[in-house]
Chains A and B, each alone.
Chain A
Amino acid sequence: MKAFVKETSTVVAVPGVNCDTDQIIPGRFLKADRAQGYGQFLFHDIRRNEAGELDPAFPLNREGAERSTILLVEDNFGCGSSREGAVYALVDHGIRAVIGPSFGDIFFNNALKNGLVPVRLPAEHCDELADYLARFPDAEVTVDLENSELVLPGNLGRYPIVIDAFARECILQGLDEIEMTFTYMEKIKAFETERMASHAWLAR
C-alpha cells in the first residue's frame, strides 16, 4: 500500500447521492487482472455516452480534471457491492482522497487498505465547498493526514479528519497489515486452541 501523508490538489466534484460501487465500476469489468489497470473503468457507464466516448459534461472529463487527485462526492458514496474494484479504479486513476458526508462501510474499509483516504465532512460544508469550486475551479484542497486536518480553500476553513487511530497509523506508514498481524500470531493461535476445544465442529 502506498503511504499517504499529505496531498494538495484541485478537486473534481462528482454529483449524486447514493453513488454505488456499480457506478464507480460496472460489474462486467471486474474480471480484469489488477495489472491491466482499473483506472480505465472508473465511472465507465456514467462517464461515457452510448458510443463509448467520454462525455465532456461529466466532471471527470473536463479539461484539467486529470490533474486532480481529490474527489468531492455526496452522501453514501460507495454504497452497494463490496467490490474492491471500485477502490482500485479510483486509485489506478490517480485519486488519493475522497471527501464526502458519508461512505459505504465496506468501501470505507477497502479505501483505507489501498492508501485512498476517505474524508468525512458534514454535508453543509461539502455543499459550501461544491459552491466554491463552481466559482473557483482551480482552488486547491489539502488533505493533511499527518495533522488530521482538511484544509479548504478561501475562507472555508479547516476541519478535522476523523479516521480511527489504528487505520490512520497504517495508512500514514503504508503498513502491510498482514505482516503486522503476523506479529500477533501467538495470541491468535492461543485463542484458536481454546475456541476449538469448545467448538470442535468448526474445523471438521
Chain B
Amino acid sequence: MAHMNAPRTMLAKIWDEHEILRHPSGPSLLYIDRDMIHEGSFHAFADLKRRGLKPRRPKQIFGVADHYVPTLGRTSKDAASPAIARMIDTFDENMEWGGVRHFGLSSRSQGIVHVVAPEQGITLPGLTIVCSDSHTSTQGALGAIAFGIGQSENAHVLATQAIWQLRPKTMRVTINGTLGQGVTAKDVMLALIAKIGAAGAGGHAIEFAGQVVRDMSIEGRLTLCNMSIEAAARFGMVAPDETTFAYVRGRNFAPNEQEWDAAVNHWRQLVSDDDAVFDREVVLEGADIPPMVTWGTSPEDAVSIEGRVPDPSTFDNADKRKAAIKSLEYMELAPGTELSGLKLDKVFIGSCTNSRIEDLRAAAAILKGRKAKIQAIVVPGSTQVKEQAEAEGIAAIFREAGFEWRDSGCSMCAAMNGDVVGPGERCASTSNRNFVGRQGPGARTHLVSPAMAAAAAITGCLTDVRRV
C-alpha cells in the first residue's frame, strides 16, 4: 500500500497500529491498551451488571479513587458526607466485583489518576489509553494516544477492550526558543488558550513541538497535555524522546529490562516524520510568554500578570463581549483593574495539572522562609508525590509557611469531595478550570502556575512571581 510510505504524524502511526478495522461508514474500531477508571464509573458498572457482563480484560483496566476522596484522612469514614463516602465504597465494591486492580484510599499508589498512571508506568509511549475523565489528555505527554470518554463509552471499553472513534485532525503547536525566568508549562498553556480560544483546537489532536517542549521535563509536558482539553483538543501529545525513556524505565507496569531495548526501538519510530503534514500549525515564541493569570470564567480569559482586566467593549465579537460582561459580573471585577495586587481569600496548589513533585518544588522554592497571609492548602497529586515531598523537606517548607499539607486527591479542583472555595471567595488555583461554580457555588477562580500560587499566598494577592 503506497500510502503506508507517505510521511505520517505520530498520531497516525499510533492510530494505525491500533486499528482493528475501519467501518465502511467511517470510524475506526480502535484497540484500547489501557482503561483507567475512577469513582464516576458506577454508571458503566451498572450497565455491565444489567447486561450480565464483566470487564473483559481486567488486567488492562486500572482503578484509582480520586474525585471523591477526603484529603484529611484515608478512609471513606473521613469523607465529607455519607453520600460521598458511599461513592468511595461503591467504587471499591465495583473494583472487587470486576476483578480490577485498583489503588484505593489505603493504597500507597493512590492519587489522581493522571498523576498515578504515568508514575506507575501504566502510561507508556505508543499506547492507547482511555479514562472517563476529560484530562486523560494529560497522559499523551509520554507519546500515547490518551483521551477522555463518557460512561457509555467506558462500558463499551470494559466489555470489548475496543472503542469506535473517528480520527481527529492534527494541530502542531510549536513553542520556539526558551522560556523566561519564572515562566512554566502552565503559563505556556494559558498563553496558547488565550491565543486560539477555548474552542480553538476543537476536533484536533495537538502535538506539542519545538525547543521549549524538547527541553521540558516530563512533569512540564504532562501539564501542557493536561490543559490541551481546555483548548477543546481531543488529545495532547509529545513525541517520546530520551527524557521520556529515562522517565518510564523501571516503573511498575513498564516493560522489564529484557523487553526494554525492543520497546524503545519501537517507540523511537513513533515520532512524526520530518515532512509529515499537520492540518493546522500554531507557533509561539517561548521568550514572549509572561507568567499568566485568568481574569474570567473560561481558561481563554488569560493575560499576563502585568496586565489588566480587559474592557469588554473593546472586543470585536459580540458573543465575546456578552460573555466577558457576564464573566466580570460573576468575578466581581471592573474593566481596567490591575491583576497584580488583586486581593485573594485562598490559595490551592494541586490537581492533575500541577500537583507533581516538580510543581511542589517550584512552589516551595518561593515559600522558603516566608509565611502565607491567607488560607492555603497543598494537595499532592499522589501518595508517592506526598512521600517524596516529605522526604525532600518540601512538606516542612509548606507547613512552616502556614500551608495545610493534605493527602492526595482531586480536592478543590473538582470540588466533589467537600473541599470547596466558599461563595464569593477569590482563589488563586493551580487547577485547570475557572468555570462558574467549578470550585464551589459562587467561587471565583484565578488560574496560575504553582510558583505564582506560592507568591500569591505570601502577599495575599495576585503577584508577579518574578518580583518576590
Interface residues, chain A, with chain B CB atoms under 8 Å away: 15-18, 20, 22-23, 26-28, 30-31, 33-34, 45-46, 74-76, 79-84, 87, 102, 104-106, 109-110, 113-114, 123, 164-167, 169, 177-178, 181-182, 184-185, 187-188, 191-192, 195, 199-204
A81→B23 CA distance, assembly (Å):
28
Pairs of residues from A and B, 10 with the lowest C-beta to C-beta distance, nearest first: A165-B25, A76-B199, A113-B152, A84-B150, A110-B150, A82-B148, A166-B25, A82-B134, A203-B59, A164-B26
Would you call A191 and B198 a contact (CB within 8 A)? no
Would you call B40 and A106 a contact (CB within 8 A)? no
- 25 A-B residue pairs with CB within 8 Å: A16-B326, A17-B298, A18-B300, A20-B438, A22-B437, A30-B416, A31-B87, A45-B437, A74-B319, A76-B232, A81-B134, A82-B148, A109-B153, A113-B152, A166-B27, A181-B160, A182-B159, A187-B20, A188-B160, A188-B162, A191-B20, A191-B31, A201-B255, A201-B256, A203-B60
Q: Give the total of B residues in contact with A, Cβ under 8 Å.
A: 72
Contact of B156 (CB < 8 Å), options: A27, A102, A164, A177: A177
The reply to whether the CB of B287 lies closer than 8 angstroms to some CB of chain A is no
**A201-B255, A201-B259, A203-B57 as given contacts; A181 in contact with B162, CB under 8 Å:** yes
**A45-B441, A82-B134 as given contacts; A102 in contact with B202, CB under 8 Å:** yes
A169→B26 CA distance, assembly (Å):
12
Interface string of B132-148 (1 = CB under 8 A from A): 11101000000000011
Would you call B27 and A106 a contact (CB within 8 A)? no
> Chain B residues with Cβ under 8 A from A104's Cβ?
202, 232
Contact of A31 (CB < 8 Å), options: B83, B153, B415: B83
Which B289-346 residues sit within 8 Å CB-CB of chain A? 298, 300, 319-320, 322-323, 326
A46→B199 CA distance, assembly (Å):
22
A82→B132 CA distance, assembly (Å):
7
Interface residues, chain B, with chain A CB atoms under 8 Å away: 20-21, 23, 25-27, 29, 31, 33-34, 40, 43, 46, 51, 53, 57, 59-60, 68, 83-84, 86-87, 127, 132-134, 136, 147-153, 155-156, 159-162, 164, 166, 168, 198-199, 202-203, 232, 234, 253-256, 259, 263, 298, 300, 319-320, 322-323, 326, 414-416, 433, 435-438, 441
> Chain A residues with Cβ under 8 A from B162's Cβ?
181, 184, 188
> Chain A residues with Cβ under 8 A from B414's Cβ?
27, 81
**A34-B43, A164-B26, A185-B160 as given contacts; A75 in contact with B319, CB under 8 Å:** yes
A167→B27 CA distance, assembly (Å):
9
Which residue on chain B has the smallest CB distance to residue A179?
B51
Would you call A202 and B259 a contact (CB within 8 A)? no
How far, in Å, is A199 (CB) from chain B's closest CB?
A: 8
Contact of A192 (CB < 8 Å), options: B26, B31, B34, B435: B31
A16→B298 CA distance, assembly (Å):
11
> Chain B residues with Cβ under 8 A from A167's Cβ?
27
Would you call B437 and A188 a contact (CB within 8 A)? no
> Chain B residues with Cβ under 8 A from A45's Cβ?
436-437, 441
Contact of B234 (CB < 8 Å), options: A28, A105, A192: A105
> Chain A residues with Cβ under 8 A from B136's Cβ?
82
A177→B29 CA distance, assembly (Å):
12
A123→B441 CA distance, assembly (Å):
30
Contact of A18 (CB < 8 Å), options: B33, B46, B127, B198: B198
How far, in Å, is B427 (CB) from chain A's closest CB?
A: 15
Would you call B433 and A188 a contact (CB within 8 A)? no
Would you call A182 and B436 a contact (CB within 8 A)? no
Would you call A79 and B150 a contact (CB within 8 A)? no
Would you call B436 and A22 a contact (CB within 8 A)? yes
Question: Besides A23-B435, A31-B68, A202-B60, 10 other CB < 8 A contacts?
Answer: A17-B319, A20-B435, A30-B416, A34-B43, A79-B198, A79-B199, A80-B134, A83-B40, A105-B203, A113-B153
Would you call A80 and B155 a contact (CB within 8 A)? no
Which residue on chain B has the smallest CB distance to residue A199?
B33
Would you call B199 and A18 a contact (CB within 8 A)? yes
How far, in Å, is B19 (CB) from chain A's closest CB?
A: 9
How far, in Å, is A201 (CB) from chain B's closest CB?
A: 5
**A22-B437, A184-B21 as given contacts; A204 in contact with B151, CB under 8 Å:** no
Would you call A17 and B323 a contact (CB within 8 A)? yes
